[in-house]
Amino acid sequence: MLPPMAIVRPEQPGDDDAIAAILRAAFNDDSEADLVERLRGSESWVPELSIVVQQEDQLVAYALLSRVTAGEANALALGPVAVLPDHQGGRLGGALVRMALDRARSLHFDCAIAIGPPRFLESCGFEPATAHGVTTQVRLPQDAFRIFQLQPGVIPEGPVLWPDEWSDS
């Protein structure tokens, strides 16, 4: 559940510095802020799915869903997701991700792929991707590779391929 007075909304012009600050504080480096900057200028970007939580006049959390290739499915990748350190542990991150997924469903996307902490992703409803036969050429811990079905029964048949913007080289 969201704290009282908090609103969830797509990012607006002028939010980018505050979003970068949330990402730097949560991840303790620049990598995720740089990733969002690369994605923002790319074909993967879906403006409605770059979502912030605003509490009074401060942005306190951020989640991004952007396009990813996964066979014929109309698929998204979740990430980054970040909550300002002094707001973590209060269920804000999970609530934000679930709202972002609802918005993606209403935009008719089929599924969302994520790589991240299994317990957090599980609390948002993500299931192990490999259990559904979803593959990727990226090497990662199986439990961290997750899928959320937005339209029942639509599972990607091809491997998940992240756009070049996800690579920082």
Ligand X SMILES: CC(C)(COP(=O)(O)OP(=O)(O)OC[C@H]1O[C@@H](n2cnc3c(N)ncnc32)[C@H](O)[C@@H]1OP(=O)(O)O)[C@@H](O)C(=O)NCCC(=O)NCCS
The residues binding ligand X (CB under 6 A) are: 26-27, 79, 81-83, 88-94, 116-117, 119-120, 123
**Based on CB atoms, which residue is closest to ligand X, 47 or 89?**
89
Reading the block at residue 49, the tokens are 């799915």
Q: Is the dihedral angle over the CA atoms 11, 17, 19, 20 positive or is it negative?
A: positive
User: Which residues, including other chains, have CB under 8 Å from residue 37's CB and lie 6 or more apart?
Assistant: 16, 20
Beta-strand relationship, 58-70 and 160-161: antiparallel
- Enumerate the H helices of 16-91 as residue ranges: 16-27, 31-40
Residue nearest to ligand X (CB): 93
**Based on CB atoms, which residue is closest to ligand X, 88 or 135?**
88
Euclidean distance between CA atoms 94 and 122, whole angstroms: 10
Cis link prior to 152 (omega < 30° from 0)? no
Q: Least distance from C-beta 130 to ligand X, angstroms? A: 18
Q: What is the largest CA-CA distance in the chain?
A: 44
**Based on CB atoms, which residue is closest to ligand X, 69 or 88?**
88
**Based on CB atoms, which residue is closest to ligand X, 3 or 158?**
3
Euclidean distance between CA atoms 72 and 106, whole angstroms: 19
**Based on CB atoms, which residue is closest to ligand X, 45 or 120?**
120
Residue owning tokens 């091809």: 158
Q: Least distance from C-beta 86 to ligand X, angstroms? A: 11
Q: Least distance from C-beta 83 to ligand X, angstroms? A: 4
Q: Least distance from C-beta 120 to ligand X, angstroms? A: 4
Q: Least distance from C-beta 114 to ligand X, angstroms? A: 6
